[in-house]
Amino acid sequence: MSRVSIVKKRESFYATFVKAMEELGIQPVAPGDHVLIKPNLVQPAAPDSGQITNPKLLEAIGRYCLDAGAGRVVIGEGPSYYQPESCLRECFTRTGVSKIAKRLGIKWVLFDEHSYRSFRKVPGCIPEDFRVSEFAFDCDKFINVPVLKTHFLTKVTLAMKNLKGCLKREDKPMFHRRDLARAIVELNKMVAPSLNVIDCTAKTIGAIGSVDGEVHQSMGGSSFIIASSDIVAVDAIGSAVIGIDPKTVRTVSLGKEAGLGEDDLARLDVYGEELKHLRIKVELPQEQLRQGFPLLKITGAEKACSGCIISLLSALFQLQKQGARLEKPLVVWVGRYPRVPGNTEFLSIGNCACVEGEEGPSGVGGCPPDKKEIVKMLSIYMDKGEKGQI
Ligand code: SF4
């Protein structure tokens, strides 16, 4: 049975991580090992925002690796498709990760400044061609450290999806074109972390689309980490703690089918905190939006990539926070091949929807489209709400 450890953070991050390893009964790093630590640093957000892996947890893991005698420790991340390429450096410098690396005497790397390994015409793989950072292979131990977040398409974004950060930026949209969950599983077959640690220590739970922290869902005072060598198991537990049945998370169930790990909670050896004491009720982004904009329908999203989805959700959450309301039904299309409804107001978002669509729909182009432009366009269809100016 796969073993998973859930450890509440009662002491330092270092002590919390050490306890998790003791409960797993493993020594994840051996003397001389080359170690890659892969966080989620999607944007230069506040350390405890829930949007990024807390740099203090990265420091604890880096220190642990050095104490275990690692020969080389690297913290590495690739650029988000939503953010400008130049943003990746700031994800290290403005969050304090670069200072932590300097203090520990370890390296931090931007994957896009180094080489990638090409996968071409992989049989049965979606997509067939993509590139993965060599750092994911050039290490003895790969420690994957995502942060607990919800996601519009995949429900959660945890350990399995965090590996998308190893892809070349330009290849990321292809992962969304056909079946994102299946593509993530294919990537997980190529890149296999030796240890996965989900950071659940923020005060709020991050959501893809809540880029500037527009929506806050409380962790209810809970602060803990979930660790396992089994990437499917750690995601199953991560989903369960926020009230999502792991069987309904396609990356998890497809991961089990592919033999990557165990998704059945009853077949996991869970050490540390009891799951039932940690369950936190969380609403998915679409549930939150439904409350603010019951007249809004988002379509095409299953084939769109994060560049469009994050821009759109972020714009909507900002408007929701400002109290804006839709005056009449509106269909918003993201992704390719838009179908324009005959009798409802329609807005297309992103180049795929605007350029390849039927003639004439109003929209916001760009790849990815600009959030401010989306806010401006959506504002045309909305009243100002109780809180005044949009
Ligand atoms: S327009 Fe949107 S869906 Fe199309 S490739 Fe760009 S970010 Fe992806």
For ligand 1, the distance from its centroid to the CA atom of residue 204, given in whole angstroms, is 29
Per-position DSSP letters for 142-180, written without gaps between them: EEEE-B-EEETTTEEESHHHHGGGGB-GGGHHHHHHS-H
Distance CA 236, CA 234 (A): 5
Whole-structure pTM value: 0.90
For ligand 1, the distance from its centroid to the CA atom of residue 368, given in whole angstroms, is 6
Distance CA 301, CA 311 (A): 12
pLDDT band (50, 70, 90) for residue 272: very high
Spatial contact of 210 and 314, defined as CB atoms under 8 Å apart: yes
Task: Name every protein residue with a CB atom under 6 angstroms from any ligand 1 atom.
Answer: 173, 304-305, 307-308, 335, 350-352, 367-368
Neighbouring C-alpha atoms within 13 Å toward the C-beta of 156: 31
Q: Whose CA is nearest to atom 2 of ligand 1?
A: 308
Atom of ligand 1 nearest to the CA of 305: 8
Atom of ligand 1 nearest to the CA of 334: 3
Q: Dihedral sign for Cα 320, 323, 324, 327, please.
A: positive
Distance CA 365, CA 307 (A): 12
Instruction: Reduce the secondary structure of 37-94 to three states and give it as a string.
Output: EEECCCCCCCCCCCCCCCHHHHHHHHHHHHHCCCCEEEEEECCCCCCCCCHHHHHHHC
> What percentage of the chain carries pLDDT values higher than 70?
93
Q: What is the torsion angle, in degrees rounded to the nearest 10, for the CA atoms of residue 163, residue 165, residue 168 and residue 174? A: 70
For ligand 1, the distance from its centroid to the CA atom of residue 145, given in whole angstroms, is 27
pLDDT digits (tens, 9 = 90+) for 142-187: 999 999 999 888 899 999 999 999 999 999 888 887 788 999 999 9
List the domains of the chain with CATH numbers: 2-277 (3.40.50.11440), 285-383 (no CATH)
Q: C-alpha angle 356/297/308, rounded to 5°?
A: 45
Query: Mean pLDDT of all residues in the chain?
Result: 90
For ligand 1, the distance from its centroid to the CA atom of residue 216, given in whole angstroms, is 26
pLDDT digits (tens, 9 = 90+) for 320-333: 988 999 989 999 99
For ligand 1, the distance from its centroid to the CA atom of residue 346, given in whole angstroms, is 18
Spatial contact of 234 and 198, defined as CB atoms under 8 Å apart: yes
pLDDT band (50, 70, 90) for residue 271: very high
For ligand 1, the distance from its centroid to the CA atom of residue 198, given in whole angstroms, is 28
**Mutate-to-test residue for ligand 1 from 175, 177, 308, 348, highest number of ligand atoms within 8 A of CB:** 308
> What token pair was written down for 160?
């399995």
Q: Whose CA is nearest to atom 8 of ligand 1?
A: 305
